[in-house]
Amino acid sequence: MRPVDEQMAILMQGVEFGDPQLYQVMQAELRERLSEGRPLRVYCGYDPTAPDIHLGHTVTMRKLRQFQDLGHEVTFLIGTFTGLIGDPSDKEALRPQRTPEELMANARTYAEQAFKILDRDKTIIRYNADWLSQLTFADAVRLASHFTVQQFLARDNFAKRMAKGDPIWLHEFFYALMQGYDAVVLQTDVQIGATEQLFNLMAGRKLQEAFGQRPQVCLTLPILVGTDGRMRMSKSAGNYIGINEPPEEQYGKVMSIPDEVMMQYYRLVTRFSPEQIAQIETDLQSGRLHPRDAKMMLAREIVSIFHGDEAAARAEEHFKTVFQQRELPPEMGEYSLRIPLSIVDLICAAGLAPSKREARRLIEQGGVKLEGHPVQSVDLVVQPGPPRVLQVGRRRFVRVV
């Protein structure tokens, strides 16, 4: 294994707690375990509450991959039981509950998407329904006996709901108990999570001690902000970068992020070493590196992670052609128009919008062009005729023939 100091520099990169004393404690405990010279058992859990993974989800996956590359044992835990409740850590209202069937359908896609980050041959996949569904009511009572109601109500999200008089449902308390028990079952050395999940990770430490185990090291990472540079990345906010999106779409979205959040992306979702990232930051501050060039390098890296180097190069050329030179992309898909279609139906048929509702919204917001001219009405009917270019948004093009 690589020297402990070298591992520490990589593994502590991006880690935040919001508490300097806790940071020092966890840093010291991680160093101690690494000094034992053995592969550590590391895991992170993901509730399959939606079928797709976006770049924000990959922050913790990237940390798992760093542990893998350093020779440690990584478990990718899919929350097929915890997902029935949903983690309340980042919510000020009740999460909608999912059915077991929905969770299993989503779970089937999670591992494959995760392998775009993780090493398939070195990843252990587990499902926490395998053990949580086997607990008896007496078991749940014993787990709950290690915590007080005051500890839960002190959590920021619950405290806000209490202050507003909003309901806090009893089953929401179970989530931290279940996640804590995951750590017991896996006998983990290190658990990775988002900063907002610290309570749940610390619950794992407490339960491990109660079960006679050595308490795990907790490493928490900040939430990745979305392409707007303000709100957390999420599909509902529309500020996300999907890991299965086309290369050109990913590249363009990265180029749209504000300069001030660029270094957060470098630290949390790229393969660059701490030394390389420090040099990029130094060069930006000194003026030796232009922010545009740094962002293009970031966009190439992110597209390369999910689609490969060749796709990243093509996406960059596409971006230069469309946005820097204001020309049409050299290659675009085609749609054969044989009968008259409304512009709304044409957009959907050509695969440029997922629904008619979305197509209408894009038209009304001025986001649709036909032969370079903005489409003014959702009632426009497009007739078969000579080839024309249909553009939806800033990055989606199709030639109508």
Q: What is the mean pLDDT of residues 183-198?
A: 95
Q: What is the mean pLDDT of residues 367-373?
A: 85
Q: How long is the chain?
A: 401
Residues β-bridged to residue 41: 73
CATH 1.10.240.10, the chain: domain bounds: 247-324
| String of DSSP letters for 337-375 | --S-EEHHHHHHHTTSSSSHHHHHHHHHTT-EEETTEE-
The answer to whether the beta carbons of residues 396 and 352 sit under 8 Å apart is yes
Compute the distance between CA of residue 148 and CA of residue 363 in angstroms, rounded to an integer: 54
pTM of the model: 0.74
Q: Write out the two tokens for 299.
A: 């966009």
CATH 3.40.50.620, the chain: domain bounds: 4-221
Q: How far is CA 198 from the centre of its chain?
A: 17
**pLDDT, the chain, mean:** 89
CATH 3.10.290.10, the chain: domain bounds: 333-400
Write down the architecture of domain 333-400 according to CATH.
Answer: Roll (3.10)
Looking at residue 387, its pLDDT comes to 80
Write down the architecture of domain 4-221 according to CATH.
Answer: 3-Layer(aba) Sandwich (3.40)
Q: Is the pLDDT of residue 226 over 70?
A: yes
What CATH number was assigned to the domain covering residues 247-324? 1.10.240.10
The tens digit of pLDDT for each residue in 103-136 reads 877 777 888 888 989 999 999 999 999 999 999 9
Say what percent of the chain tops pLDDT 70.
96
Three-state DSSP state, 380: coil
